[in-house]
Chains A and B, each alone.
Chain A
Amino acid sequence: MAETTTLAKSTLALSGPVTLATLGAVRARLDKAAADAAVDVSAVTRLDTAGAWLLSATGRRVEGGDEAQRLLIRTVGDAMPSAVKVEPRGLGQRAGDVLAGVGMAVGGFLAATAQSLGFLGVVMARLAATLARPRRLRLTALVHHMQDVGLNAVPIVALMGFLIGVVLAFQGAAQLRQFGAEVFVVDLIAVSILRELGILLTAIIVAGRSASAFTAAIGSMKMREEIDAMRVLGLDPIELLVLPRLLALVIMLPILGMVANLSGLFGGGLMAWIELGISPSQFRTQLLADVDAAQALVGLSKAPVFAAIIALVGCQQGLLVEGDAESLGMRTSRAVVIAIFLVIVVDALFSVFFAVWGV
């Protein structure tokens, strides 16, 4: 610690280290000394920038010290920021700020929606152009993304479907047994998985898995100016980055939904056998008698729409990433939230549509 002693009335002699670590003690000592007292630093063993700043800030005359210490004090004194204080920018200080905040949020939402519609339009136009000249399609990229979003997702999707089937059979059995209608557990499992749960939960898992991956991949390309490089080279980032991902997901999500359906039926059948004693052949007979293929087609017909939503949201959020790391994280989490939200909203619209249509 810094030890300080007052030698004469007008001189304050400091000794020991005067550094950032001892700043508090030295400042207390300086505050107690007479206002016009000079400071003697001859006995100071170590002086750092913080110590020199303190001595300069008091405005006292500094005596003694070796050449290096005097040089440091002079350098710090020269660099002292001027007394003119820059006014800190305040936020939320005026009464109207809340109202302005609401307005900005609404405006921001409308602008983001318009931007998304614009993005959808651009992608559609590029897609049409590519379909007109199919040789422009990047087949390698397409297959790579199909493996990434499709094949590599099979284990998790299959496991999820299996567990959903198990849970439905188990819960359904407990209820249906009360009415002696155990055999209808087959209808329960088949209709709910084929029509709704299989594809919806697959879409949610893929949204969490692939929308975030698309945003992170395209976003980090944006941060490293790869997208700008493509533009100045006359390459179209939408054609190169967005279309392969979009097509890959549109092709693979129905297949993943099918995987979820099959493993769901398998899990449900297994549980029905163990829990209710419905044999596999009985399960098959009941399934074929009561549930037709239309149920599965209704479910799978939603898959391409869900796939397009997930791919477009993921890619668009990736292209909106700005220069810093924080915006990448914000966009990635936003991509997942928006994709899942839109998938559920569209699923609800599909339900209304199919009910009106009578399917």
Chain B
Amino acid sequence: MQAETVIEVRGLTNRFGANVVHEDLSLDVMRGEVLGVVGASGSGKSVLLRSIVGLMTPSAGQITMLGTDVLGASAADRAAASVRTGVMFQDGALFSALTVRENVAAPMRERLGVDAKTRASLADLRISMVGLPPEAGDLFPAALSGGMRKRAGLARALSLDPEILFLDEPTAGLDPISASAFDTLLNSLRKALGLTVFLVTHDLDTLQATCDRVAVLARRRVLVTGTMAQMRAVDDPWVQSYFNGPRAHVALDVAGG
């Protein structure tokens, strides 16, 4: 694994009133890896993601992404860094007034001066790369199923060839066949595009199929990081019940056997 750190979180604290979500949390993401972030519901996985991409300002701490200090940088520097990242939200968060093709082309239109024809062709290419049929480009998001919306959201996140891809629960709400197709898609895109992936998920199958490393969020910090195999040996009741629970056995046994 390469040594270059692309995301560095140090001493992150997030507080909502009296409710402390993160306290002195530190986390590193290396270039080219797929890092899965797991934790109980309410352990602050989405808050961590939102802090890193700059959607919310943490109470304290330091976040460096691709060499840019996310919290201290000027708006222009932050915008330059966000061009190099892509975020896929839980339900796609597609713009409802635009067709899928316009959605995928929107970042190119806003950020770079590319002519309309090239933009449309590149959007069609992305739509095809994430496994949507060509006709999907003309549809409005309201006409898409949940799985198609997620794929369209992924196509938009990939629109600017990001170095880091943030995925928030990409397989939640998908049937097992679509979910495993998504895992395969993620693996092939990551290999072809050389992506670094920050993956927030509850899905043990996805963790097993795609992640190089897993970070466990518990008790307001990153409790432990390591490979899936290492996770099963961690001596902590929560980690034990997560990775050695009845659901975990199926995922790991199938993958192992």
Contacts and interface: CB of A to CB of B under 8 A. Distances in A.
Tell me, yes or no, whether A binds B.
Answer: yes
A86 B227 CA distance: 45
Contact of A72 (B135, B138, B193): B193
Contact of B112 (A21, A57, A82, A88): A21
B138 A89 contact: yes
A50 B122 contact: yes
Interface in A308-341: 322-326
Contact of B192 (A75, A81, A84, A325): A75
Contacts of B124: 81
Residue in A79, A325, A326 with the greatest tally of chain B CB atoms within 10 Å: A79
Interface string B140-163: 111000000000000000101100
Chain A binding site: helix, strand, loop or mixed by DSSP?
helix
Interface stretch (B37-45, B66-74, B125-133, B247-255): B125-133
B126 A326 contact: no
A72 B12 CA distance: 36
Contacts of A325: 96-97
B128 A20 contact: no
B219 interface: no
Contact of A53 (B108, B125, B138): B125
A23 B128 contact: no
A75 B192 CA distance: 7
B161 A48 contact: yes
B15 interface: no
A259 to B, nearest CB: 39
A294 interface: no
A75 B188 contact: yes
Contacts of A326: 96-97
A324 B121 contact: no
Contact of B128 (A57, A80, A322, A323): A80
A20 B114 contact: yes
Given A81-B134, A326-B96, A23 B114 contact: yes
Given A49-B122, A80-B128, A325-B96, A20 B191 contact: no
Contact of B193 (A49, A57, A84): A49
A71 B112 contact: no
Given A20-B114, A76-B129, A86 B135 contact: yes
Interface in B109-124: 112, 114, 118, 121-122, 124
A19 B161 contact: yes
A336 B141 CA distance: 28
A80 B141 CA distance: 23
Contacts of B11: none
B61 interface: no
B114 A81 contact: no
A49 B125 contact: yes
A68 interface: yes
Contact of B138 (A20, A21, A86): A86
B125 A72 contact: no
Contacts of B191: 71
- Chain A: interface residue count, which band? 20 to 34
Chain B binding site: helix, strand, loop or mixed by DSSP?
helix
B161 A53 contact: no
B226 interface: no
Contacts of A89: 138
A48 B84 CA distance: 12
B161 A81 contact: no
B148 to A, nearest CB: 15
Interface string A196-223: 0000000000000000000000000000
B126 A49 contact: yes
Contact of A86 (B97, B121, B134): B134
Contacts of A81: 124-125, 127-128, 134
A323 B194 contact: no
Interface in A36-74: 48-50, 53, 57, 68, 71-72, 74
Contacts of B142: 322-324
Nearest to A57: B121
Contacts of B127: 81
Nearest to B127: A81
B159 to A, nearest CB: 9
Contacts of B137: 86
Given A20-B112, A324-B96, A76 B125 contact: yes
Interface string A16-32: 00011101000000000
Contacts of B140: 324
Contact of B161 (A49, A68, A82): A49
Interface string A68-109: 100110111001111010101100000000000000000000
A20 B96 contact: no
Interface in B205-230: none
Contacts of A80: 125, 128
Contacts of A86: 134-135, 137-138
10 contacts: A20-B114, A49-B122, A50-B118, A68-B194, A72-B193, A80-B125, A80-B128, A81-B124, A86-B135, A86-B137
Interface of B: 96-97, 108, 112, 114, 118, 121-122, 124-129, 134-135, 137-138, 140-142, 158, 160-161, 188-189, 191-194
Given A49-B125, A86-B137, 20 more contacts: A20-B108, A20-B114, A20-B122, A48-B193, A49-B122, A49-B158, A53-B125, A57-B121, A68-B192, A68-B194, A72-B192, A72-B193, A75-B189, A76-B192, A80-B125, A81-B127, A81-B134, A86-B134, A324-B96, A325-B97
Q: In the A-B complex, list the 10 residue pairs whose CB atoms are closest, starting with the nearest.
A: A324-B96, A75-B192, A48-B161, A79-B129, A79-B128, A81-B124, A81-B128, A72-B192, A81-B134, A71-B192
